[in-house]
């Protein structure tokens, strides 16, 4: 299914990735030029060379893109050297992210841009990798032995990309029982326990303070919509509209109740607490509110064009005051989306959008988060983001960052070539991905500067860098 349009007058259309193999002549030259923008992040020439070789390996036709097969595939690569580069070498990661954000802003930046936050799981078999534990893995939809990363994505009318990441450390990893493991994995001593929403909030604050990526909207799922820490971070961004999912059991009032301070005595000490004045004015869950809304409050909107015709949902909205620990908190828009049919399924969102916000904005925002899910799918399927075997804290962040850069490089090619999506959309099914450009396609092109790898490699091996940079030859 390829949704082709949401509603008339919506914000903008996020394009699909639609570069075709014949468009990418000079791929290796372009890759060399792209990665050279990050050379100032390494103090020595060896890690710069390994950085390029690693990206070459990610774009190869290898079935598994972990360090050993990539090092053996790239001419001049060594397994131990690449392992040290990922896990032990010193990178100026802050500078690298800064350089990266400058590139994203230059090619995808839009004042109406959207920041998206979500987590992704990485299944692991052992117990030695940093942050691994039996925890919920969204990739599988169940509890599994895995690592979990929290990510920030960016989307605009020009494309989408992952722009920041944090590794979530379960509480057990910060206890004394795990001290030896933390040492083996090079976990920073200053690291403290942070929830996933707190990690997302930290990334949001960092991106806002950095000031490179322009954005107007923030979207996230219910894990973040249920977090005061995350919502407070969004509220601190002046002029930014949030649209985040919330759980069905979230409680709220239709009208903000009055409160007062009530005194009481505890162990001889007089204390005061804030209470709701009208005790019979209890909050209700958003699920209860939704099923009791009259039919006149619901509006049917087409959200996509499916293979069997238009896909429509019913929407309703209501101004509510959220309940936190029995007291009124923030007043927001509650947006409810339900499927059309005899047994409707409901989804719930809150937004700090102004009271005058039109319907089409909410309908549009309810469907833009697909872009970060597409980032996960493409970086894992095509670039091996989940193929890593590193165990250390720096190694995880280094590998994930290079995967993010490699994914953006494909968009860099598309934008450089000036190709515009003929059919922009806001939702892509998993079976659509195979029709897009893959790294194998890039290497199978016979344009200048591009050669084959693996079984189809030409002999002798083609240098993966221009003549001025002899490293990175693909093994014949």
pLDDT in tens, the chain (476 residues): 333 334 444 578 888 876 654 566 678 888 999 999 999 999 999 999 999 999 999 988 888 999 999 999 888 788 999 999 999 999 999 999 999 999 999 999 999 999 999 999 999 988 899 999 999 998 888 999 999 999 999 999 999 999 999 999 999 999 999 999 999 999 999 999 999 999 999 999 999 999 999 999 999 999 999 999 999 999 999 999 999 999 999 999 998 888 888 877 777 787 778 788 876 678 999 999 999 999 999 999 887 777 777 888 999 999 999 998 888 999 999 999 999 988 999 999 999 999 889 989 999 999 899 999 999 999 998 899 999 989 999 999 999 999 999 999 999 988 877 654 433 433 333 233 233 334 444 444 433 333 333 333 322 222 334 434 434 444 44
- Cα four-point dihedral sign 7, 9, 11, 15: positive
Q: Which of 363, 381, 408 is the last residue of a domain?
A: 363
Does residue 187 share a domain with residue 148?
A: yes
In a domain, 235, yes or no: no
DSSP letter assigned to residue 90 = -
Assigned domain for 237 exists: no
Looking at the fold, whether 356 and 377 belong to one and the same domain comes out as: no
Contact 170, 194 (CB under 8 A): no
Q: In 10 A of CB 312, how many CB atoms?
A: 14
Name which of 279, 347, 350, 282 is nearest 315 in CA terms. Answer: 347
> Considering the domain boundaries, does residue 4 fall inside one?
no
Residues 27 and 134 in one domain: yes
Q: Are residues 30 and 72 in the same domain?
A: yes
Asked if 346 and 431 sit in the same domain, the reply is no
Nearest to 304 by CA among 144, 220, 134, 426: 426
Q: Are residues 449 and 318 in the same domain?
A: no
**Number of domains making up the chain:** 2
Q: Are 312 and 386 in the same domain?
A: no
Are residues 383 and 337 part of one domain? no
Instruction: Let me know how long the chain is.
Output: 476
Q: Which of 363, 379, 397 is the last residue of a domain?
A: 363
Residue 331 lies in a domain: yes
232 in a structural domain: no
Place of tokens 């004394």: 176
Contact criterion met (CB below 8 Å) for 98 and 206: no
Domain of 390 in residue numbering reads as: 21-221+371-474
Give yes or no: residues 63 and 158 share one domain.
yes
Give 125's contacts (C-beta < 8 A, 6+ positions apart).
145
Give the C-alpha separation, 296 to 277, whole Å.
32
> How far is it, in rounded angstroms, from Cα 303 to Cα 434?
24
Any domain includes 173: yes
List C-alpha distances in Å: 259 to 97, 228, 232, 327. Answer: 46, 20, 22, 8
354 and 384 housed in the same domain: no
Measured between alpha carbons, how far is 248 from 286 in angstroms, rounded to an integer? Answer: 6
CA separation for the pair 430, 30 (Å, rounded): 28
Q: Are 82 and 139 in the same domain?
A: yes
Task: Quote the CA–CA distance of 78 and 66 in Å, as a whole number.
Answer: 13
- Residue 370, exposed/middle/buried by CB under 10 A (0-12, 13-18, 19+)? buried
Looking at the structure, tell me whether residues 460 and 403 fall in a common domain: yes
- The pLDDT score that the predictor gives to residue 260 is 81
Last residue of a domain, one of 298, 329, 363: 363
Q: Which two tokens stand for residue 159?
A: 């494309």
In a domain, 139, yes or no: yes
Instruction: Please tell me the pTM assigned to this model.
Output: 0.84
């Amino acid at each position: 299914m390829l949704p082709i349009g949401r509603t008339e007058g919506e914000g903008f259309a996020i394009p699909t990735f639609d570069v075709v193999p014949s468009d990418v002549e000079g791929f290796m030259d372009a890759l060399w030029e792209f990665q050279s923008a990050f050379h100032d992040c390494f103090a020595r020439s060896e890690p710069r060379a390994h950085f390029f070789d690693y990206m070459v390996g990610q774009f190869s036709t290898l079935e598994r893109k972990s360090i050993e097969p990539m090092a053996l595939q790239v001419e001049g690569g060594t397994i131990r050297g690449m392992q040290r580069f990922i896990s032990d070498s010193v990178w100026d990661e802050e500078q690298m992210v800064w350089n990266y954000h400058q590139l994203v802003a230059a090619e995808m930046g839009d004042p109406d841009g959207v920041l998206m936050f979500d987590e992704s799981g990485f299944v692991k078999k052992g117990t030695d990798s940093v942050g691994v534990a039996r925890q919920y893995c969204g990739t599988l939809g169940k509890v599994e032995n895995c690592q979990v990363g929290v990510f920030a994505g960016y989307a605009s009318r020009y494309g989408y990309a992952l722009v920041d990441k944090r590794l979530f450390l379960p509480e057990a990893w910060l206890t004394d029982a795990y001290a030896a493991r933390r040492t083996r994995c090079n976990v920073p001593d200053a690291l403290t326990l942070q929830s996933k929403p707190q990690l997302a909030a930290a990334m949001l604050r960092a991106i806002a303070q950095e000031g490179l990526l322009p954005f107007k909207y923030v979207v996230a799922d219910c894990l973040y919509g249920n977090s005061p820490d995350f919502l407070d971070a969004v509220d601190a961004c002046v002029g930014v509209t949030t649209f985040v999912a919330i759980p069905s059991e979230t409680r709220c009032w239709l009208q903000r109740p009055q409160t007062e301070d009530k005194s009481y005595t505890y162990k001889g000490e007089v204390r005061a607490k804030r209470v709701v004045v009208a005790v019979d004015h209890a909050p209700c869950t958003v699920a209860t509110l939704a099923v009791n809304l009259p039919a006149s409050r619901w509006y049917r909107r087409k959200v996509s064009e499916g293979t069997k015709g238009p896909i429509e949902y019913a929407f309703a909205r209501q101004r509510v005051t959220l309940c936190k620990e029995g007291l009124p908190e923030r007043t927001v828009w509650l947006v409810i989306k339900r499927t059309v049919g005899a047994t409707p399924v409901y989804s719930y969102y809150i937004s700090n959008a102004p009271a005058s916000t039109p319907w089409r904005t909410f309908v549009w925002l309810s469907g833009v988060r697909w872009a970060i899910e597409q980032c996960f799918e493409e970086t894992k399927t095509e670039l091996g983001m989940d193929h890593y075997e590193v165990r250390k804290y720096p190694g995880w962040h280094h590998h994930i960052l290079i995967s993010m850069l490699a994914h953006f490089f494909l968009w860099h090619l598309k934008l450089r070539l000036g190709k515009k999506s003929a059919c922009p959309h806001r939702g892509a099914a998993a079976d659509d991905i195979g029709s897009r450009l893959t790294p194998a396609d890039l290497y199978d092109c016979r344009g200048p500067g591009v050669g084959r790898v693996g079984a189809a490699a030409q002999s002798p091996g083609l240098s993966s860098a221009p003549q001025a940079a002899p490293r990175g030859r693909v093994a014949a």
